[in-house]
Amino acid sequence: MAYDVDKLSELKLNGYKPVGRNFGGLAGQKDGFETYAIPKDGIMDLDGQGSFVRPPVVDKYMNTLKSFVRFVNTATTAIMERISVSLELPEGVGLLDYHRPNVPSPDIIRLLKYHAQDIRERGALHTPHTDLGSLTFLFTRQPGLQILAPNSNEWTWVEPMEDCVIVNLGDMMALLTNDYLRSCLHRVAPLPGQAMPTRYSFAYLVRAENRTPMTGLNSPLIPVKEQEEVLTSDDWIKKKFGVLRLDSRKEGQDWVLTGQDKVLPV
């Protein structure tokens, strides 16, 4: 297969994932969506990645992609600034220092297409998960996204709104704050009583710069945590993908997929 994401880049930053390659939303099943990833470093020509392998259609929209990355970077900086103030982070060792727009990082744009599903096969096409990065900017006009709020057993629908983008916190925010901030558990499912239609969405996934230590930042609000091993951001990404690509979820790996232990309703 041309442009296979598992062959083009170790951190799965570039290329196509067909339906059914990830662990699925239903017991013993696989996922029901295809994706195409486009790397920030390639779009912005960082780290010598400007000539990344890509099909002509991606090439054609390179200027649009560049403006889109700049737009999201501006929003990211504003959000990180606000969160840094709220967390009382000292200058120089904060979130902004690990999310510098012009420095290489494993950020991607992810295009998603969910496949239609017969009403008799109803299930979540996207297994419940948290996003592995810092922030997710999600763009869609179609419903289907659900979140599981902390201490709740019920999935809540997140309705898309005109001219709005949905922003999630991902695992890296939990790791950088020793769980003071939590990553948002979500999935994509058909609406009640309806079959799943073909659904399109796209996301910009903000991730901390390569080799960022995934441990709590220095703040009076962030609890101190004893850690046997501090992963770097690249290793965290590899670990999460290792679990996503499994055929079944093994005991003790819930946390990697969902960011939290034993939270999934049965």
Ligand X SMILES: O=C(O)CCC(=O)C(=O)O
Return the residue of 31, 41, 131, 171 that touches Fe ion, per CB under 5 A. 131
The region of 41-49, 137-145, 173-181, 220-228 touching ligand X under the rule CB under 6 A is 137-145
Q: Which H/E stretch holds residue 233?
A: helix 233-244
Q: Determine, following the binding rule CB under 5 A, whether residue 31 of this chain makes contact with Fe ion.
A: no
Q: Please say whether the beta carbons of 101 and 76 come within 8 A.
A: yes
Q: Determine, following the binding rule CB under 5 A, whether residue 171 of this chain makes contact with Fe ion.
A: no
Return the residue of 188, 196, 217, 256 that touches ligand X, per CB under 6 A. 188
Number of H helices, E strands in the chain: 7, 10
Q: Determine, following the binding rule CB under 6 A, whether residue 124 of this chain makes contact with ligand X.
A: no
Cα–Cα distance for residue pair 27/117, rounded to 1 Å: 16
Using CA atoms, how far residue 82 sits from 85, 86, 96, in Å, is: 5, 6, 10
Q: Which does 17 bind (CB under 5 to 8 A by kind): Fe ion, ligand X, none?
A: none
Q: Determine, following the binding rule CB under 6 A, whether residue 196 of this chain makes contact with ligand X.
A: no
Q: Please say whether the beta carbons of 130 and 171 come within 8 A.
A: yes
The region of 3-11, 68-76, 127-135, 169-177 touching Fe ion under the rule CB under 5 A is 127-135
Return the residue of 37, 38, 69, 138 that touches ligand X, per CB under 6 A. 138
The region of 81-89, 99-107, 128-136, 159-167 touching Fe ion under the rule CB under 5 A is 128-136
Return the residue of 99, 186, 207, 240 that touches ligand X, per CB under 6 A. 186
What is the DSSP secondary structure assignment for residue 120, as one 8-state letter?
G
Return the residue of 131, 137, 176, 177 that touches ligand X, per CB under 6 A. 131
| 61 or 200: CB nearest ligand X | 200
| 40 or 54: CB nearest Fe ion | 40
Site for ligand X in 80-119 (CB under 6 A): 110, 112
Q: Please say whether the beta carbons of 44 and 69 come within 8 A.
A: yes
Q: How far is the CB of 110 from ligand X (least distance, A)?
A: 5
- Strand spans (E) along the chain: 15-17, 33-39, 108-114, 126-129, 135-139, 145-148, 155-157, 166-169, 186-188, 199-206
| 195 or 230: CB nearest ligand X | 195
Listed in sequence order, the residues at least 6 apart from 24 whose beta carbon sits closer than 8 Å to its beta carbon are: 30, 31, 32, 123, 125, 127
Question: What's the distance, CA 245 to chain centroid?
Answer: 15
Q: How far is the CB of 141 from ligand X (least distance, A)?
A: 11
Is the CA virtual torsion 7, 125, 166, 232 positive or negative? negative
Return the residue of 203, 217, 237, 257 that touches ligand X, per CB under 6 A. 203
What is the DSSP secondary structure assignment for residue 211, as one 8-state letter?
T
Binding-site ranges for ligand X (CB under 6 A): 110, 112, 126, 131, 138, 140, 145, 186, 188, 201, 203
